[in-house]
Amino acid sequence: MITKALLYSLGCLLLLGSCASPKYMPSYDKIDVSEYGSYIKIRGNNIEMTAGELIAIDKGNFIILSEKERKCVSIPLREVNNYTLKYAQPKHYGWTIPVFSVVSLGHGLLALISLPVSLSTTSAVTASGETAFTYNKKSIPIKKLNQFARFPQGIPPNISLEMIK
């Protein structure tokens, strides 16, 4: 049982270690001073999944600095089925899984109870920390996404999409 618990803990750590966020996203304590827009992934009927920085929501379109192409793309709002928006780096609590598992092993026979409780609790906390600063279509409407854009009031007239990097 202990071997399975350790393997489970190691598997969770490897999974969580592979999660990465774009480097331009601020840490959670610097959210209010970031000059960049939030990271967004968009899925739609007739469009390929697009991911990148949310530049603006302008004239019925998402303007996104595409992660893949490194240029601004315009996607009509009506084409979008689903989106996921991250506005800060997630909190990483993956270290708690092995630490609290080892602590539970020190409980002797009570480890039969405390180890599963510790694993389930720390796994749940770790999973919620990874999605802490994330919104999706169910949690925020498109109308409110502009507050997470680099240009919340739309792209200024003196700036062209080619200028945005």
Convert the pLDDT of each residue in 92-133 to its tens digit. 777 878 888 888 888 888 878 888 888 888 888 777 776 677
> Residue 154 class from Cβ within 10 Å (0-12 exposed, 13-18 middle, 19+ buried)?
middle
Task: Find out whether 84 and 131 touch, Cβ atoms under 8 Å.
Answer: no
Q: What is the mean pLDDT of the chain?
A: 77
CA–CA distance, 57 with 11 (Å, rounded to integer): 40
Higher pLDDT, 163 or 116: 116
Residues with Cβ within 8 Å of 42's Cβ and at least 6 positions away in sequence, in order, are 49, 50, 51, 62, 64, 75, 80, 82, 83
Domains annotated for the chain, with CATH where assigned, are: 1-21+92-124 (no CATH), 36-90+131-153 (2.30.30)
**pLDDT at position 14 over 60:** no
**pLDDT at position 12 over 80:** no
Lowest mean pLDDT among 55-64, 70-79, 85-94: 85-94
**pLDDT at position 18 over 60:** no
- Three state DSSP letters for the chain: CHHHHHHHHHHHHHHHHCCCCCCCCCCHHHHHHCCCCCEEEEEECCCCCEEEEEEEEECCEEEEEECCCCCEEEEEHHHEEEEEEECCCCCCCCCHHHHHHHHHHCCHHHHHHHHHHHHHHHHHHHHHHHCCCEEECCCCCHHHHHHHCCCCCCCCCCCCHHHCC
Q: What is the pLDDT of residue 60?
A: 84
**pLDDT at position 21 over 50:** yes
pLDDT over 90, % of the chain = 0
**pLDDT at position 19 over 60:** no
Tell me what the mean pLDDT of segment 36-57 comes to: 84
Q: What is the pLDDT of residue 39?
A: 85
